[in-house]
Chain A
Amino acid sequence: MNTTPLVALVGNPNAGKSALFNALTGARQKVGNYPGVTVERHSGRMALPDGRPVELIDLPGAYSLDPGSPDEQVTRDVLLGRQQGERLPDAILTVVDASNLDNHLRFTLQLIALGLPIVVALNMVDLAERDGLKLDPEALERELGVPVVSTVAVRRRGLDALKERMAEMVKGVTKIRPSPGVQHDIVLLQRRARQIATAVTVSETAARRWTHRLDALFLHPVAGPLILLGTMFLMFQAVFAWSQVPIGWIEDGMKWLGTEVGTALPDGVFRSLIVDGVIAGVGAVIVFLPQILILFAFILVLEATGYMVRAAFLMDRVMASVGLSGRAFIPLLSSFACAVPGIMATRTISDEKDRLTTILIAPLMTCSARLPVYTIIIGALIPDRAVLPGIGLQGLVLFALYLLGILGAFVVALVLRRTVTKGATSGFMMEMPKYQWPSARDVLLGLWQRALIFLKRAGTIILYTTVILWALLSFPKPPEGSTVSKVDYSIAGRIGSGLEKIVAPIGFNRDMALAVIPAMAAREVAVAAIGTVYAVDNPDDAAGEESIREQLQKHWSLPSALAFLMWFVFAPQCISTIAVTRRETNGWKWPAFMVGYLFALAYVAAGITYWSAIGLGL
């Protein structure tokens, strides 16, 4: 039995809960899942001043113990000891925003009534002071009857005092407690919370708030949308421009590794496996780590500063026109990095139909895994010339692919909201947190976790699929003196020729058909697959990007390449996305629907593109 005391970290959204969690546990965190539900379980270990370990779980932010979303339900169930796979916490650490006491204390009162030992972290006292609000923490402690500690989690202030109080709290923990009662009368709690807030406020000057000043700019009817557009532009520009140098390093490293290993190993099947299969395949994917990290860095910073909610505010009108709300903007923007966290982020959408629609269109946002496919094909087959000064044709095609995904998503949302996910238009009601300078530590921690997930994927799924593909491509070997190419003679070549019949009407050749199959595991594998196909055919060639480019120019026509790009705009080529959709929608019905409609769209769009390109004489 696990005897480490379990402390639940609870609080309103925007109270700075995750920052406190990071500050207390550092990198000693584990991200898992609760069985049966889709909510991520964040836990971490921390040491108390006396050396005792404590397990801290970061529960989803909630406004009360009356859940309005799947996230909030987990928070309630854990605190009542009803959550499957989680023991009843021994104590509660609750976080309140110092400048929002009249609201956040309501939840605190509800938590205190549960009867578990509890400590209150009065967080973001610096921002409250900046806004001209002076509080008396001791008075708050008297009013609430539980320990209160002032903290600034992002600046790691007040943590030692907090740990001291936590140590006292878990000292004599016994699991017996008075029968927990949930106080449901929000209005009553709210009035009590306001009384307390007034009682502990020492002074309140009407200092012009920073947040209001910034909002006057960021929410301005004209300037606001322009700034949002500029931010998005900067973000995508950065993904390409800033990543070139680190990508170069990784490429050089992989090339060096391939040559070194190639010369060190004796010629044979094993060398072919390592060099053509593992290094060429995994290397082709790892080069995209810089782009993915830059994209995530932007998203993490936009969230931490509080700007993301402003973006949702500005986008609400547009989203409402296709039957969604501004809230859907955040998961959809995250989906540009990866649909998996994007789909998980839909949990904050309380309306079921609204949430389902957002999940179903999230895969249409151009995720970072498509980038490798797009860049390599555009680089190889779209001429590198300027359309207008400063605007290259290659960049324009890439932009068009992104835009097409967004337009596709809007049209699909519009259709879905009138058919399968029909329902009353959902609302849009969001707390707009104060602007805050993000802590570099929190952003780096988030990036570190993303990098690990990506590298783990490259090391497992992508590694296995490229090795299997390499095997299928390498065996059986054609007899000596045969004129048939190695790939044509292999199992994979034969599968590819069979598939070619299905995809020939949309302009795909055998190699494309071959690349599409392993890309089901993850889209970026398509690049690895193309790399492996041509590496197996030309074992003398170092399987760098240069050679893939030349091979593409030799084997692919422009209409076929455009059709292939179009296929990747729509096709649901990602098992992780399908799996997360199944988890989030509790069944196979919606993932099956999603896969079906996306493949149909991909096939039709690729076909139209191919035949239009042929018709235009490209």
Chain B
Amino acid sequence: MNASAAIPVPVRLAQLHRHAPGTVAGVDWDQLAEPEARRLRELGLDEGVEVELLHRSGLFGGPLACRIGRMTVALRRHVAAAIHVTPLARQA
């Protein structure tokens, strides 16, 4: 795929740069356990919602703190890896 600067390509939330917000492009719901998927929906995760990676904990693959809408949520990495995000265009 040819990623031009104008059309951002979705990346996984887990791989997002910190403090570089994006909108949810899609979620691999089938990669998540049913209770996980439901709780994630209850925390407001949905296509089009603005998300941002805030903090990674520790060195050994600990959880991530992410912003979903106006809420901060702790997620494990495999969950964040199932969320595809379209980065927002950088403001000058």
A residues neighboring B (CB under 8 Å): 63-64, 66, 68, 99-103, 106, 133, 186-187, 190-191, 194, 211-212, 215-216, 219-221, 224-225, 309, 312-314, 316-317, 320, 326, 350-351, 424, 427-432
Contact = CB atoms under 8 A, between A and B. Distances in A.
B44 A317 contact: no
Contact of A317 (B42, B54, B60, B65): B60
The 7 residue pairs across chains A and B that have the minimum distance between CB atoms: A317-B62, A63-B42, A432-B72, A219-B55, A103-B44, A430-B74, A427-B36
A188 B57 CA distance: 33
A509 to B, nearest CB: 47
A307 B80 CA distance: 23
Nearest to B55: A219
B11 interface: no
Given A219-B57, A312-B74, A68 B35 contact: yes
Contact of A68 (B33, B38, B46, B75): B38
Contacts of A313: 57, 62-63, 65, 74
B43 interface: yes
B65 A63 contact: no
Nearest to A102: B69
A608 B17 CA distance: 53
Most A C-beta atoms less than 10 A away, residue of B39, B49, B71: B71
Contact of A429 (B39, B44, B56): B39
A600 to B, nearest CB: 33
A114 B8 CA distance: 43
Given A64-B42, A68-B38, A427-B33, A100 B70 contact: yes
B41 A190 contact: yes
Given A215-B65, A219-B55, A429 B36 contact: yes
B46 to A, nearest CB: 6
Nearest to A186: B41
A526 to B, nearest CB: 40
Contacts of B42: 63-64, 68, 106, 186
A431 B70 CA distance: 11
Contacts of A64: 42
Given A225-B58, A316-B74, A429-B75, A68 B65 contact: no
Contact of A215 (B44, B62, B72, B76): B72
Contacts of A219: 54-55, 57, 65
A190 B46 contact: yes
Interface in B47-68: 49, 54-63, 65
B62 A316 contact: yes
Most A C-beta atoms less than 10 A away, residue of B42, B58, B79: B42
8 contacts: A68-B35, A103-B71, A106-B44, A187-B46, A215-B54, A313-B62, A427-B79, A431-B71
A429 B70 contact: no
B25 interface: no
A99 B79 CA distance: 25
Nearest to B61: A317
B20 interface: no
B40 interface: yes
Interface in B13-27: none
Contacts, number: 113
A215 B72 CA distance: 10
B77 to A, nearest CB: 10
Contacts of A133: 70
Contacts of A350: 35, 39
Contacts of A225: 58
A63 B39 CA distance: 8
B5 to A, nearest CB: 24
B79 A187 contact: no
A68 B33 CA distance: 13
B38 A309 contact: no
Contacts of A102: 44, 69-70
A432 B43 CA distance: 11
B69 A103 contact: yes
A66 B38 CA distance: 10
B73 A430 contact: yes
Contacts of B57: 219, 221, 224, 313-314, 316-317
Nearest to A424: B33
A251 to B, nearest CB: 45
A190 B65 CA distance: 22
B79 A432 contact: no
Given A190-B41, A220-B55, A428-B75, 5 more contacts: A68-B35, A99-B70, A102-B44, A427-B35, A429-B43
A429 B74 contact: yes
Contacts of B61: 317
A428 B77 CA distance: 10
Nearest to B62: A317
A195 to B, nearest CB: 12
B83 to A, nearest CB: 12
Given A102-B70, A316-B63, A317-B63, A68 B43 contact: no
B33 A431 contact: no
Nearest to B67: A212
Contact of B74 (A103, A191, A212, A432): A432
A212 B65 CA distance: 11
Contacts of B33: 424, 427
Contacts of A186: 38, 41-42
A351 B79 CA distance: 16
A95 B36 CA distance: 25
A317 B70 contact: no
B71 A100 contact: yes
A547 B32 CA distance: 62
A459 to B, nearest CB: 42
B44 A190 contact: yes
B11 to A, nearest CB: 21
Contacts of B39: 63, 68, 350, 427, 429
